[in-house]
Structure 1
Amino acid sequence: MTTTISVEGMTCGHCEQTVEEALQNVPGVTDATADQEDDQVEVDGDADTATLVEAVEDAGYTVET
């Protein structure tokens, strides 16, 4: 399953990497690809959305709802 999350605050490649790494540490996530230009991250796996949002916010970014 692929989940797309809108993320505010990613301004560079390092930001993308930080968000990707935070999500890849969530149990059930098999891959995460962030795109700062689209302000989105696509997450593959079976982790629930609330857990994904929490991981992004814990990394210091804001999830757009």
Structure 2
Amino acid sequence: MTTPTRQRCLAKDELLSISEVIEEIGVPRATFYRWRQLRKGPKAIKLPNGSVRIRRSELERWIETMEEAA
């Protein structure tokens, strides 16, 4: 049985697709890919099948750093 705390940890580290990330942060796909190329976007994981995923915790951390920089 999964505890509520464990469920929050699992949900926090869910793997998001690029489509989910750009929808959440509200930027065009091209902007996201430019940020990746310049290494200014959130850290991503490239899966063996070529798909790219971003951990929810990493996206939240990245957003926090953007807030601090402003």
- Interval containing the TM-score (normalised by the shorter chain): 0.3 to 0.5
* Structure with bigger RCO (C-alpha 8 Å, 6+ apart): 1
Q: Choose between structure 1 and 2: higher strand proportion.
A: 1
What TM-score do the two structures reach when normalised by structure 1? 0.33
What TM-score do the two structures reach when normalised by structure 2? 0.32
Q: Whose Rg is larger?
A: 2
